[in-house]
Amino acid sequence: MGKLEEIIANIFELDPSQIKKEMTPADIETWDSLSQLNLISSIENEFQIKFEIDEIFTVMKIGDIYSLLSKKGVL
Amino acid sequence: MISNDRVYTYSEIDKLIDATCTKLEKSGLLPGEIISIILKNSVEYVLFYLATLRIGCIINPYPYNLESKDAIRYLENVNPKLLFCHKGHYEYMKNSAKSQVVLVDDDFLDKLDGSDKRADFKPEQKSPACIYYSSGTTGSPKSVVFSHKNMLSNISSICRGFKFNEEEAHLIILPMGHTASVNYSFLPCTLLGGTLLITESFWKIRQNFWDLIKKFNITYVEVVPSILVALLHTPYDEKDYSGIEKLKFIGCGSAPLPVELQNKVHQKFDLKVANLYGLSETGPTHVDYPLDEGWKPGSIGKPLDVNQVDIMNENGNMLDHDQVGEIVVKGENVFIGYHGNQEIYDKLVVDGRFHTGDLGYKSKDGIFYFTGRKKDLIIKGGINISPDEIDEIIFKLDEVKEAITVGMEDEYLGEKIFTYIVLKDGKKLNDEKVKGFCKKFLSKEKIPDVVKFVESLPKGPSGKILRREMKN
């Protein structure tokens, strides 16, 4: 399991094996505005990057987190 | 009413309420007893709320996103006869609550038995109808009691003030355990015969928000400021929010609304935002109706027609227009008590006037402006948080000599929690350990976002730490 999956699993209280890129807040009970911010904050700390506010709101599904990190050159 | 893709007529809801009444009465409930609910936004929420009133009991709702360990403190204060909850809270409550706890499971509606039509219970106007939780400023539980007269006067006044009518179609995206969507949408629409579209939360429908507005001809939706920020920054296509003419305006409450945010939403979506002001103890007190000529963005509007609102100085004298003082509210909608705490009620309600602890002023033309709070309170994403509650936990750490928690301005959440700590000589601590310690005692929204270690904290002549200095 990679560090990103560990963070996602920890924030959303999921088993890492449950995480799928197409999952949206509608699929994950614990995915609310606060947990999304906590997720962003944890990723920023772990990967030593900073997201702009517009970037935070592009995350609509799990896969968007990977895309965002890819754009930042982290993944 | 529409929920989970299912449409319910008023007649269907009425029958389901009767069936819920039967279920409640089988539990041996008597008029005047308290029923607590911790339910998701759902038809079940509506049924329990209205069935409780129909049998003459008192409804005591909690937001579903409130953590169980927080809710239990309020439940101990209220001591309900029964607690109904969805499964997210059930296990914890079953093991911790003193009351009888009943699980409302996914097939609750299917299991409801039919029932004969019954008449509504006819309560005394002054008897309690609802008890709402209030996070307050001290961190200790406050449970606000409203009478039937309070509720009816408030709801009917809101309908008049905001010109709601039977054509209303309201979208609910805020937790129904808070008063906001109950006072502005659930009860007004029910009173007028309008339509309610109930969703679990904004975050669950963010992607389809504008589609829902258009599909269901939504006329009104209530939000908190952080949702407006999310709407502005979510990468919607322009065509997503074209054709939303039925949506008359958006209401925004629960936290101070910056006028710049109000203007940005207006500019981007051609949609006016009403700045909703009210308190746990009064419900809404003002009407900021943005379709009126002469509407003043940045204000909180004029008092509801059931309210007399004044500005008072610290000596209890009324202030003239344009002078900042405490906002005090009198009227039929002002609550009748804090459950089990007459002392605080007597302190805050003097000569029938509720002292809000909020500061503001009134312009010459009778329009009110909120300018700040007398009391220390952090409002993070619309959730009220007492900094004292956080400090109390931080002080349990052996390494801490002094600590103070404040809300600092944040573009999205309105405020974020900053905790400043002075360590005892020779002691070491890091922010991870502080946050981890807080997690054991506090719900997640109360965990400090930022922990900073400082050499000293500003103090007044008496040695009291000056919290407001830290905000600057």
The DSSP H or E segment spanning B128 is strand B128-134
Tell whether the model's pLDDT for residue B472 goes beyond 80.
no
Rounded-to-integer distance, Cα B415 and Cα B255, Å: 9
Tell the burial category of B297 from Cβ atoms under 10 Å away from its Cβ (0-12, 13-18, 19+): middle
pLDDT for B138: 56
CB contact (8 A) between residue B204 and residue A54: no
pLDDT for A1: 62
Query: Which residues of chain A does B207 touch, with a Cβ-Cβ cutoff of 8 Å?
Result: 24, 60
pLDDT for B377: 85
CB contact (8 A) between residue A34 and residue B445: yes
User: Which parts of chain A have pLDDT scores under 50?
Assistant: none
Give the range of the structural domain holding residue A17, as residue numbers without chain letter. Answer: 3-71
Average pLDDT of chain B is 93
Q: Identify the CATH number of the domain defined by range B378-471.
A: 3.30.300.30
> What residue of A is the nearest CA neighbor of B446?
A34
The yes-or-no answer to whether B2-368 and B378-471 have a common fold is no
Q: Which residues 3-22 of B are in CB contact (within 8 Å) with A?
A: none
Residue B248: name the closest of B226, B274, B268, B224 by CA: B274
pLDDT for B136: 61
pLDDT for B139: 58
- The average pLDDT across B301-306 equals 97
Rounded-to-integer distance, Cα A60 and Cα B236, Å: 11
Of A24, A32, A53, the CB nearest to B201: A32
- The average pLDDT across B93-122 equals 89
> What residue of B is the nearest CA neighbor of A34?
B445
- pLDDT above 70 coverage of chain B, percent: 99
What confidence tens digit (pLDDT) does each residue in B323-382 have? 999 999 999 999 999 999 999 999 999 999 999 999 999 999 999 999 988 878 898 888
Tell the burial category of B149 from Cβ atoms under 10 Å away from its Cβ (0-12, 13-18, 19+): middle
The DSSP H or E segment spanning A7 is helix A3-11
Query: Which residues of chain A does B233 touch, with a Cβ-Cβ cutoff of 8 Å?
Result: 53-54, 56-57
Rounded-to-integer distance, Cα B211 and Cα B197, Å: 13
Q: Is A57 an 8 Å CB contact of chain B?
A: yes
pLDDT for B193: 97
Confidence at B37, pLDDT banded by 50, 70, 90: very high
Q: Contact, A8 vs A2, CB < 8 A?
A: no
Tell the burial category of B430 from Cβ atoms under 10 Å away from its Cβ (0-12, 13-18, 19+): exposed
Of B206, B233, B444, the CB nearest to A54: B233
Only one residue has tokens 């449950």, namely A18
Confidence at B137, pLDDT banded by 50, 70, 90: low
Domain borders along chain B are 2-368, 378-471
The CATH number that applies at residue A28 is: 1.10.1200.10
What confidence tens digit (pLDDT) does each residue in B257-274 have? 999 999 999 999 999 999
For B356, the 3-state DSSP assignment is: strand
- pLDDT above 90 coverage of chain B, percent: 81
Query: Which residues of chain A does B413 touch, with a Cβ-Cβ cutoff of 8 Å?
Result: 37
For B467, the 3-state DSSP assignment is: helix
Q: How far is CA B1 from CA B18, B41, B42, B44, B169, in A?
A: 17, 12, 10, 12, 9
Confidence at B113, pLDDT banded by 50, 70, 90: confident
- The average pLDDT across B225-240 equals 95
- Output the pTM of the full model: 0.91
* Domains held by chain A: number: 1
Q: Is A44 an 8 Å CB contact of chain B?
A: no
Confidence at B423, pLDDT banded by 50, 70, 90: very high
Q: Is B412 an 8 Å CB contact of chain A?
A: yes
Q: Which CATH superfamily is domain B2-368 in?
A: ANL, N-terminal domain (3.40.50.12780)
